[in-house]
Copies of this chain bind each other. A is one copy, B any other.
């Protein structure tokens, strides 16, 4: 899932995004809540209408940004209080509110509010965050059911799905306990949070090896924050279905260009000054089939925004293509 933080990709139009084969967009509840606010989006007819995107939208709960981006004021089992990273204004979020906001946004896949501890957290901190995530998931499920039963969307084919988020850090017993209790509550899908936050690849794979066999086979599993193509392959093999990541865009901003053959270019290196071959002759992005490496090198060196657009399209295109090829392998 490409990440369209506040309802837009960085420098890529929706049309360009569709041309790369994107068929779902992730938007950040935290950002949309701060601006323009869920009420304005509801008034517009929902997020699909507001941003003019008619494919599915998944929204996160806002929790991750509260813990990583905002000025956290206080947290307990009842609620979290934080200050906006934009204007310092104070906001209160409860599990119920997180679900209500996402319903107002008109999201297709709603995520439960969770407490994501940092990778450096102690076992007791991870334990507390895991217990809290379980309590919050229960309240989210109840609130989701309440809203669905009141809403005209309830029961029809367009009812939004609710995913829980499994926490537990690198503590396998906590991951297992969290999974079992989440499964007992029953969700439409199971997100795995608290990974790809600084731990080693081996540690991440270890958690997935312990976790995936426990998850129901007929519900999607979504590993949050992973975008390295080799990791996508490995994690699908372990049983993961969905991913989101800003990595393709972050790499593009740092002049790293992923190629469709699996290699990559540091396009700001002097060796590309006179490399007039296409950026990637087999690219899923038309811009990379026609524009040369020398031109992209020039645009990145002169900080022309078009360079970032070309590189974002390329990296996102190659990542989406890799997922398509993985899906085809799974099918065959």
User: Which residues of chain A have a CB within 8 Å of any CB of chain B?
Assistant: 5-13, 16, 31, 35-36, 40, 43-45, 50-52, 273-274, 276, 287, 290-292, 294-295, 297-299, 301-302, 304-307, 309
Q: What's the Cα separation between A269 and B51 when bound, in Å? A: 19
The answer to whether residues A294 and B9 also contact, given A35-B302, A36-B273, A301-B35 and a CB cut-off of 8 A, is no
Report B-chain residues with C-beta under 8 Å of the C-beta of A36: 273, 294, 297-298, 301
The answer to whether residues A40 and B287 also contact, given A8-B306, A35-B302 and a CB cut-off of 8 A, is no
Q: Are A295 and B11 in contact (CB under 8 A)?
A: no
Report B-chain residues with C-beta under 8 Å of the C-beta of A9: 306
Considering the complex, give the chain B residue whose CB is closest to the CB of A39: B274
Q: Are B13 and A287 in contact (CB under 8 A)?
A: yes
Q: Are B302 and A6 in contact (CB under 8 A)?
A: yes
Output the residue of A12, A295, A299 with the most chain B CB within 10 A.
Answer: A295
The answer to whether residues A11 and B11 also contact, given A291-B52, A295-B51, A301-B35 and a CB cut-off of 8 A, is yes
The answer to whether residues A298 and B35 also contact, given A40-B273, A50-B292, A276-B44 and a CB cut-off of 8 A, is yes
- Selected contact of A305 from candidates B11, B51, B273, CB within 8 Å: B11
Considering the complex, give the chain B residue whose CB is closest to the CB of A310: B13
Give the Cβ gap from A88 to chain B, nearest Cβ, in Å. 16
Q: What's the Cα separation between A13 and B10 when bound, in Å? A: 14
Give the Cβ gap from A302 to chain B, nearest Cβ, in Å. 5
Report B-chain residues with C-beta under 8 Å of the C-beta of A273: 36, 40
- Selected contact of A10 from candidates B7, B44, B305, CB within 8 Å: B305
Q: Are A292 and B44 in contact (CB under 8 A)?
A: yes
Report B-chain residues with C-beta under 8 Å of the C-beta of A12: 306
Q: Are A52 and B8 in contact (CB under 8 A)?
A: no
Q: What's the Cα separation between A10 and B308 when bound, in Å? A: 11
Report B-chain residues with C-beta under 8 Å of the C-beta of A287: 13
Starting from the known contacts A10-B306, A11-B305, A44-B295, 17 additional A-B residue pairs (CB-CB under 8 Å) come to A5-B304, A7-B298, A7-B299, A8-B299, A10-B305, A11-B11, A11-B306, A12-B306, A13-B309, A35-B302, A36-B294, A36-B297, A43-B276, A50-B292, A50-B295, A50-B298, A52-B291
Give the Cβ gap from A4 to chain B, nearest Cβ, in Å. 9
Q: Are A298 and B6 in contact (CB under 8 A)?
A: yes
Q: Are B40 and A7 in contact (CB under 8 A)?
A: no
Q: What's the Cα separation between A297 and B290 when bound, in Å? A: 34
